[in-house]
Amino acid sequence: MLETLDLTKKLADKKEYEEALKKYQLRLLECWQRIRKKGVPVLLVFEGWDAAGKGGAIKRVTDPLDPRGYQVSQVGPPSPDELAHHYLRRFWIRLPRRGQIVLFDRSWYGRVLVERVEKFATKEEWKRAYDEINTFERMLIDGGTVLMKFWLHISKDEQLRRLKEREQNPYKRWKITEDDWRNRKKWGKYEAAVEGMLERTNTDYAPWTLVEGNYKWYARIKVIRTITETLGERLTMKWMDET
C-alpha cells in the first residue's frame, strides 16, 4: 500500500496553504461546537515514521479548538504498572468522553509495529493483536465514537534530511533521540510491519488514511480536510453541500 503513494504531492505555495488551513480550521471549529452539543466522542489516531510530521499535523488540528474540548495523548513505552495489565488497558482509560476530541500521538498500533520489530511482544502476541485491535475499534464505533486513523508516510531520504535538521537546530534538538537513529537502521523491518498493519487493520468501519508527508503543508491540509469532511458528514454540517 505504501508504494502506491505519490510523495511528490505538494501545494502550489504558502498562500494556498494558509488559505486552505484557515478554511478547514474554521470548519473544524464549527464541528467541535456541534460535537459538544450532541455529545459525540471523537478519536483521532496518528501513526507514522519518526519525523513524519505527526506533531505538526496535530498542532494544526488543535489550534482552533478550546483546550477544554480536546486532549492530546502522547504514547511512550509502557510503565511497569501498565505492563501488569493487558496492553489495550492504558488506551482504554484515555478514550474520549462524550463531546470530547482525543488525539493519540502513537497508539495501540505499537503492538504490531515497535513491539513486533523490537521483539517486546512475542510472534504469537503481535499476530493475535490484529484481531484484538479490530474488535476493540469495532466496539468503539458501535458505541458511537467517531474514529479516524492516519499513517503519515515519508521517504527514507526525507527522514534523514529532517533528522539532520533537528540535530543542527537548537530549538528542535529535543525532538531527536538515539532511538530515532537506531530505528532508522531497521527501516526495512518497520516497513514490513507497517504493510502488515495496513493489510490486517484497514477495515470498512475503521479505514486508514494514508498521508503523503514529504511536503508538510500538503500533509497537514490532507489531515485536517479529511477530519472536517468525515465529521461534516457525520454531523450533517451545512457546508457539506458545497464539497
> Is residue 243, in this structure, part of any structural domain at all?
no
> Is residue 64, in this structure, part of any structural domain at all?
yes
> Is residue 202, in this structure, part of any structural domain at all?
yes
- Rounded mean pLDDT, 178-203: 95
> Is residue 19, in this structure, part of any structural domain at all?
yes
At 77, which CATH number? 3.40.50.300
> Is residue 48, in this structure, part of any structural domain at all?
yes
Give Cα 34 distance to the centre of its chain.
Answer: 23
* Per-residue model confidence as pLDDT tens digits over 83-142: 999 999 999 999 999 999 999 999 999 999 999 999 999 999 999 999 999 999 999 999
Residue 242 reports pLDDT greater than 70: no
CB 163 within 8 A of CB 50: yes
Residue 238 reports pLDDT greater than 80: no
Residue 243 reports pLDDT greater than 60: no
Beta bridge partners of 150: 46, 209
Provide the 8-state DSSP code for 12: S
> Is residue 242, in this structure, part of any structural domain at all?
no
Model confidence at 241, pLDDT cuts 50, 70, 90, reads low
- Name the domain count of the chain: 1
Q: Which residues does 116 contact at the CB level (< 8 Å), separation at least 6?
A: 126, 193
The whole-angstrom separation of Cα 20 and Cα 15 is: 9
Q: In what order do the strands lie in the sheet with 208-212?
A: 70-74, 101-105, 42-48, 146-153, 208-212
> Is residue 241, in this structure, part of any structural domain at all?
no
33-47, 59-73, 164-178, 189-203: which has the minimum mean pLDDT?
164-178
* Per-residue model confidence as pLDDT tens digits over 139-172: 999 999 999 999 999 999 999 999 999 989 888 8
pTM over 0.75: yes
The domain of 173 spans 2-234
